[in-house]
Amino acid sequence: MANLLTVSSSPHLHGDLSIKRIMWGVVIALLPATLVSFWYFGIGAILITAVSVLTCVLVEFLITKFFLKEPTSIGDGSAVITGILLALNVPSNLPVWMIVTGAVFSIAVAKMTFGGLGKNPFNPALAGRVFMLISFPADMTSWPIPVANRAVLVDAVTGPTSLGIVKEGLAKGDAMSDLMTRIPSYADMLLGNMGGSLGEVSAIAIIIGGLFMLIRKIITWHIPVSFIGTVFAFTGILYLIDPAQYINPVFHLLAGGLMLGAIFMATDMVTTPMTRSGMVVFGIGCGLLTVVIRIWGAYPEGVSFAILIMNAVTPLINKGLKPKKFGEVVKNG
Amino acid sequence: MKTFKSGGVHPEENKLSAGIPIRIMPVPQTVVIPLAQSLGAASTPLVNKGDKVLVGQLIAQGATFISANIHSSVSGTVAKVDDAIDASGYRKKCIIIDVEGDEWVASIDISPDLKANITMTKEEIISRIKEAGIVGLGGATFPTHIKLMVPEGKKAEHLIINAVECEPFLTSDHRIMLEKAEELLIGVKILMKALEVTKAFIGIENNKPDAIAHLTELSKKYEGIRVCALKVKYPQGGEKQLIKAILNRGVPSGKLPIEVGCVVQNVATAFAVYEAVQKNKPLFERVVTVSGISVKNPCNLLVRIGTRISALLEEAGGVPGDTGKIISGGPMMGKALNSLEIPVVKGMSGLVLMPVDEAKRMKVSNCIRCAKCISVCPMGLAPYHIAQTAETGQEERAESLNVLDCIECGSCAFTCPAGLPLLENIRVAKNKVGQLIRLRAK
């Protein structure tokens, strides 16, 4: 027997859950979407992803090791997630130095400044993406056409995203029936054969990752379902009011970053509410803001802004919405 | 299969001693009997140095309303009434007796015959249980006779027997159900009579199929007793969770089970009630599980109260070389002990030995707001937010977050991926809120 007995308060057991396990689980869940992006965008996608992940990990390593002089936290996998998510949020022909800038912003400013994993109020990858969108608006919105540009690194043939086609077309006064012929088919949108950021394209690959996280209990259904459901319901109502002015809700689900945002970004546990009711409020808020920005805002896509705005409201939601306490409803069964 | 709805965790069961029959521990040379063995006030000693005592003789009397009698577990001479270290880790008043022979008080019926006929009235039963010093043997040690006195204006409908034993490693209740089934069923009937109820449920988790089958079969002879098999989930042995699982009734915050017409008693307590009422035997011995991953012979021992734990550990094959922690009770809610000289008390259901590498806590990191603590809390609380109030000293906020509802089951800290000492901080908050409420009352 050891000379001294450890005396500590209960519980004396700990389950097998750890931050590492959760974070690497998310990395696994991101693989399908990442691989699909490699398939459609080829060498450009691989380069962007590799540079993004390496930069994120390196920046976190340098900050913890040489600035904070703490044991480094890169092993927990969260920097890898930020790197992958950031890459999934940009077009494949983005100049490499730009993605480096975005990755540095994500980790150094949006994450480590606040105290590292767990303390950041905003999703680091989204903060990085919006930073790039504002800094490099042209490069961040030129979308290489998939498959055709697999082997191309620079001067890719680009085209608009489906959301862009609709928004600009409606602004120019084009007829909805005409626009419908110009957007990709729903099957292509599901599989990812359309223009867009690396991870925006394939709804199916993202849903597979989401189901994996759901089964592993990394996320719950509340945020994705309320987010996507709100977008569907809101755009559905608008479509019913005036189908000539508003495109149908299925399009809104499959186009742009909704799936990626709702399943991977809005479920980032650090920056979203902790109670079930809070999660539903968060999801509905994201859904409403997304539609408002998509339809009436200056940008064709509003998912990133919607999530960041709701991230800012999260502390308030956490304070106001408590879990349902035991024994509140007394049954006489 | 039934279980409580929200929250709960699944620690590894490790019921290593489930198949080992109860062994009777030899009577030790000396016993150290603490005066504080039940919830409430410590008892008042009735003996002095040099007094001769018999097994089962009353040696300390319940001091106040919530307090329990204590009987000698051995025969011999009182060596001293002095301070000795007990399971709290502090020195507390104890009666220390040097053992001579094993002579029992004559009024105890030592025949092995089963006595099924309940002749006492409700009042006689309650007063006998009080005399016998019976307390809740699940670990909470609330004096049993008080639980049987239903407050004015309330009515008991159901007696619920807690045979869940949801703590890992512990098997003492399991063995009692297998080896003393008839006795405990009569004990249940006695409790039903004392409460004037016609229905009793025995809640058993389905990791004990032999006990479920055995008691289901035998209970057919006893009218009104039903065995209820429950899906394994910790902390189903919490009385609010157990009532929810069996009857789907939610005991309101801050209220006792009687609010929903229930009284909950532990299964080992029911056996002790049988012995007290039918055999006139006070509570001076109990079954204790000694177990642990590295323990050579995990076992269930019938031990006289006051026996030092070193004797029990010896009986289980000695203290393994890698032991880093000794826990009184189960590993989820039990207390870590700091000495091998600590005596067995009424509330000690087991001794669990943990290896050094498991005894230490994991490294703490930032909360990542994964909300696992919220989803596993069986009381529907927000453990992380309450724990934070302890760090920042916001007692009012802790109170508004219903900190007093916490049953200290430890599910939150068990599951926390950041390894935060959530329950430890919640206990601090609970304590401060308690002080605050007492100050307000003044």
Asked if the Cβ–Cβ distance from B253 to A327 is below 8 Å, we say yes
- Chain B window 4-63: which residues touch A at a Cβ cutoff of 8 Å? 6, 9, 11-12
Residue A333 is given by DSSP the state -
Nearest to A118 among B368, B377, B423 (CB): B368
- B259-294 per-position pLDDT tens digit: 999 999 999 999 999 999 999 999 999 999 999 999
Which of A192-206, A241-255, B30-44, B166-180 has the lowest average pLDDT? Answer: A192-206
What is the arithmetic mean of pLDDT over B8-14? 95
What is the arithmetic mean of pLDDT over B249-258? 91
Of the candidates B399, B300, B378, the one whose C-alpha atom is nearest the C-alpha of residue B332 is B378
Asked if the Cβ–Cβ distance from A2 to B331 is below 8 Å, we say no
Instruction: Examine the pLDDT at A328 and tell me if it is beyond 80.
Output: no
Residues B410 and B361: beta-carbon distance below 8 Å:
no
- CB of A298 less than 8 A from some CB of B: no
Task: Identify the residue with better confidence: A332 or A323.
Answer: A323
B56: left (phi over 0), alpha (psi -120 to 50) or beta: left
Residue A271 is given by DSSP the state G
- CB of A321 less than 8 A from some CB of B: no
User: Dihedrals φ, ψ of B378, to 5°?
Assistant: -75, -10
Report the residue of chain A nearest B417, measured CA to CA: A18
Determine the 3-state secondary structure of A217 from DSSP.
coil
**Parallel/antiparallel/unpaired status of strands B58-61 and B44-45:** antiparallel
d(CA B34, CA A75): 50
Residues B405 and B379: beta-carbon distance below 8 Å:
yes
Asked if the Cβ–Cβ distance from A115 to B168 is below 8 Å, we say no
Residue A143 is given by DSSP the state E
Inter-chain CB pairs, A–B, below 8 Å? 178
Of the candidates A209, A200, A252, the one whose C-alpha atom is nearest the C-alpha of residue A229 is A252
- Does domain B23-106+304-337+350-356 fall under CATH 3.40.50.920? My reply is no
**How much is the pTM?**
0.90
Q: Which residues of B touch A222 (CB under 8 A)?
A: none
Interface test with A, best of B247, B313, B379, B414 (most A CBs within 10 A): B414
- B203-222 per-position pLDDT tens digit: 999 999 999 999 999 999 99
pLDDT given at position A331: 45
Secondary structure (H, E, C), chain B: CECCCCCCECCCCCCCCCCCCEEECCCCCEEEEECCCCCCCCCEECCCCCCEECECCEEEECCCCCCCCEECCCCEEEEEEEEEECCCCCEEEEEEEEECCCCECCCCCCCCCCCCCCCCCHHHHHHHHHHCCCECCCCCCCEHHHHHCCCCCCCCCEEEEECCCCCCCCCHHHHHHHHCHHHHHHHHHHHHHHHCCCEEEEEEECCCHHHHHHHHHHHCCCCCEEEEEECCCECCCCHHHHHHHHHCCCCCCCCCHHHHCEEEEEHHHHHHHHHHHHHCCCCCEEEEEEECCCCCCCEEEEEECCCEHHHHHHHCCCCCCCEEEEEECCCCCCEEECCCCCECCCCCCEEEEEEHHHHCCCCCCCCCCCCHHHHHCCCCCCHHHHHHHHHHCCHHHHHHCCHHHCCCCCHHHHHCCCCCCHHHHHHHHHHHHHHHHHHHHC
Q: In whole angstroms, how far apart are CA B263 and each of B150, B160, B349?
A: 9, 6, 21
Distance from CA of A10 to the nearest CA of B (A): 5
Residue A76 is given by DSSP the state G
- CB of A135 less than 8 A from some CB of B: no
pLDDT given at position B168: 96
Task: Identify the residue with better confidence: B265 or B254.
Answer: B265
Interface test with A, best of B367, B392, B408 (most A CBs within 10 A): B367
What is the arithmetic mean of pLDDT over A115-124? 94
Nearest to A7 among B89, B252, B413 (CB): B89
User: Dihedrals φ, ψ of A191, to 5°?
Assistant: -80, -25
pLDDT given at position A333: 40
Asked if the Cβ–Cβ distance from A325 to B380 is below 8 Å, we say yes
Of the candidates B150, B219, B141, the one whose C-alpha atom is nearest the C-alpha of residue B187 is B219
The two structure tokens encoding residue A119:
């303390």
- B370-405 per-position pLDDT tens digit: 999 999 999 999 999 999 999 888 889 999 999 999
The two structure tokens encoding residue A288:
């409403």
Instruction: Examine the pLDDT at A2 and tell me if it is beyond 50.
Output: no
Report the residue of chain B nearest A332, measured CA to CA: B249
Determine the 3-state secondary structure of A235 from DSSP.
helix
Distance from CA of B380 to the nearest CA of A (A): 4
Q: What is the DSSP string of A218-232?
A: SS-SHHHHHHHHHHH
d(CA B4, CA B231): 9
Of the candidates B110, B30, B125, the one whose C-alpha atom is nearest the C-alpha of residue B72 is B30
d(CA A49, CA A34): 8
Type of residue numbered A174: D
Distance from CA of A245 to the nearest CA of B (A): 41
Residues B146 and B66: beta-carbon distance below 8 Å:
yes
Interface test with B, best of A6, A214, A272, A329 (most B CBs within 10 A): A6
Q: Which residues of A touch B326 (CB under 8 A)?
A: 5
Of the candidates B274, B283, B282, the one whose C-alpha atom is nearest the C-alpha of residue B189 is B274
- CB of A71 less than 8 A from some CB of B: no
Nearest to B248 among A115, A116, A333 (CB): A333
Q: Which residues of B touch A324 (CB under 8 A)?
A: 6, 380
What is the arithmetic mean of pLDDT over A194-214? 89
Q: Where in chain B is the domain with CATH 2.40.50.100?
A: 23-106+304-337+350-356
Nearest to A9 among B6, B411, B424 (CB): B424
- CB of B252 less than 8 A from some CB of A: yes
List of residues 6+ apart from B394 with CB closer than 8 A: none
Report ipTM for this prediction.
0.87
List of residues 6+ apart from B96 with CB closer than 8 A: B30, B31, B32, B33, B78, B79, B80, B81, B82, B84
Distance from CA of B417 to the nearest CA of A (A): 4
Q: What's the pLDDT band for A3 if we cut at 50, 70, 90?
A: low
- B149-200 per-position pLDDT tens digit: 999 899 999 999 999 999 999 999 999 999 999 999 999 999 999 999 999 9
Length of chain B: 442
Instruction: Examine the pLDDT at A1 and tell me if it is beyond 60.
Output: no
Question: C-alpha angle B27/B347/B238, rounded to 5°?
Answer: 150
Beta bridge partners of B353: B326
Domain ranges of chain A: 20-139, 166-320
Instruction: Examine the pLDDT at B247 and tell me if it is beyond 90.
Output: yes
Beta bridge partners of B22: B300
Residues A193 and A201: beta-carbon distance below 8 Å:
yes
Instruction: Examine the pLDDT at A46 and tell me if it is beyond 60.
Output: yes
Instruction: Examine the pLDDT at A219 and tell me if it is beyond 70.
Output: yes
10 Å Cβ neighbour count for B221? 10
- Sign of the dihedral defined by the CA atoms of residues B249, A322, A269, B366, in that order: negative
How many Cα neighbours within 13 Å face the side chain of B59?
Answer: 37
Asked if the Cβ–Cβ distance from B382 to A5 is below 8 Å, we say no
